[in-house]
Amino acid sequence: MAEKSYEEEHPTRAFGWAARDQSGVLSPFKFSRRSTGEKDVRFKVLYCGICHSDLHMAKNEWGTSMYPLVPGHEIVGEVTEVGSKVEKFKVGDKVGVGCMVGSCHSCDSCNSDLENYCPKMILTYSTKYHDGTTTYGGYSDSMVTDEHFVVRIPDNLPLDAAAPLLCAGITVYSPLRFFNLDKPGMHVGVVGLGGLGHVAVKFAKAMGVKVTVISTSPKKKQEALEHLGADSFLVSRDQDEMQAAMGTMDGVIDTVSAMHPILPLISLLKTQGKLVLVGAPEKPLELPVFPLIMGRKIVGGSCIGGMKETQEMIDFAAKNNITADIEVISMDYVNTAMERLLKTDVRYRFVIDIGNTMKI
């Protein structure tokens, strides 16, 4: 398809940065957005976080990417127009959109406020929307989204540092709640101190949970303990440290983005402890069965969260002053940021200053 047709697909011109192929390299991209429908909220994008999923998707590591691909699902901005039937938002409101922009609204999951598990869930980018056109994410100047998938950003949260809550935040908040790892006095391990991991530490601490970080990066120890509020820190390659912590945790939230062994993590669990995988490496992990059987242990997964819970998470964050620790970057730094993210060289989330640096 010639590039011109992307600009003519819908009535309103839009501008963003897109990956064109599996190299994952992003470059400027002119496209278009639909007119504001009855239930749509149109907003000017101000900030967008860079999730590791954006990197997996830009490089087609999960095999589902459609190019050109405009990533970005940690999106915040200011409402510029609302459709005639929009009830929750008005022009000028500060809003956010996370990983999904549509679902069927009639299946069991949708009826239980779990749109994130709807078989017809529409992702914020690289998925076909109800009208058959491809969705484009938040590395762009504007968004038009059904109000059901828009959340309100409370006034006391800074917009840039709140952006990562839309994916990283809900992805760790939801399993802490669902798997009952949110009770004061419990002991939870957080594996991987990246975008997801560092907000997991903050949410778990706010819930009154004792938190141990399990990391490959000894250099993150001091900051984890002194700044993020973790209670202890294990270097996953240090056999002695890992051995000493065996059987001490009620749960472990694994946010690791790459291949890694899970036996050492299962060993950290108490009897009936729960290992929850949220990191999504491109290849299957090896599941050791005997250690599970011998301790009646549980291995589960979790995918973002429903819209009701996402708003609840944002409100909980606002009440407890939880935001991400971010490095704000300009749009044209995005490819360097992606390279650094792959090397875990970020404290702890890149956020693109779309409002000030996106130039046609």
- Distance of alpha carbon 172 from alpha carbon 204, whole angstroms: 9
CA distances from 197 to 20, 204, 279 (A): 30, 10, 10
Choose among 15, 27, 24, 25: nearest CA to 58. 24
Choose among 163, 169, 160, 108: nearest CA to 137. 163
256 binds ligand NAP (CB under 6 A): yes
Q: Give me the least distance between CB of 69 and ligand NAP, in Å please.
A: 15
Nearer to Zn ion, 230 or 304 (CB): 304
Nearer to Zn ion, 51 or 322 (CB): 51
194 binds, among ligand NAP, Zn ion, none (CB under 5 to 8 A by kind): ligand NAP
274 binds, among ligand NAP, Zn ion, none (CB under 5 to 8 A by kind): none
Which residues on adjacent β-strands are paired with residue 18? 27
CA distances from 335 to 4, 16, 23, 138 (A): 24, 14, 11, 15
Tokens representing 340? Answer: 């650094």
Q: Give me the least distance between CB of 108 and ligand NAP, in Å please.
A: 20
Q: What is the β-pairing status of strands 349-353 and 40-49?
A: antiparallel
122 binds Zn ion (CB under 5 A): no
104 binds Zn ion (CB under 5 A): yes
32 binds, among ligand NAP, Zn ion, none (CB under 5 to 8 A by kind): none
> Do residues 199 and 84 touch, judged by C-beta distance below 8 A?
no
Choose among 307, 294, 356: nearest CA to 328. 356
Instruction: Select from 155-163, 257-265, 318-326, 352-360 the region that touches ligand NAP (CB under 6 A).
Output: 257-265
59 binds ligand NAP (CB under 6 A): no
58 binds ligand NAP (CB under 6 A): no
Q: What is the β-pairing status of strands 94-97 and 349-353?
A: unpaired
Nearer to Zn ion, 72 or 273 (CB): 72
285 binds, among ligand NAP, Zn ion, none (CB under 5 to 8 A by kind): none
**Residues in contact with Zn ion, total (CB under 5 A)?**
8
328 binds Zn ion (CB under 5 A): no
Instruction: Tell me which long-range contacts 236-241 makes (C-beta under 8 A, separation of at least 24).
Output: 236/191, 236/260, 236/264
Nearer to Zn ion, 107 or 242 (CB): 107
**Hey, which bits of the chain come out as E strands?**
12-19, 26-33, 40-49, 75-82, 94-97, 100-102, 122-123, 142-146, 151-152, 187-191, 210-215, 232-235, 249-254, 269-277, 298-301, 326-329, 349-353
338 binds ligand NAP (CB under 6 A): no
Q: Give me the least distance between CB of 51 and Zn ion, in Å please.
A: 3
323 binds ligand NAP (CB under 6 A): no
> Do residues 314 and 169 touch, judged by C-beta distance below 8 A?
yes
Please, which of residues 260-279 interact with ligand NAP by CB under 6 A? 260, 278-279
Q: Give me the least distance between CB of 103 and Zn ion, in Å please.
A: 5
Binding residues for Zn ion, per CB under 5 A? 51, 53, 103-104, 107, 110, 118, 167
Binding residues for ligand NAP, per CB under 6 A? 51-53, 56, 167-168, 171, 192-197, 215-217, 220, 255-258, 260, 278-280, 302-304, 341, 344
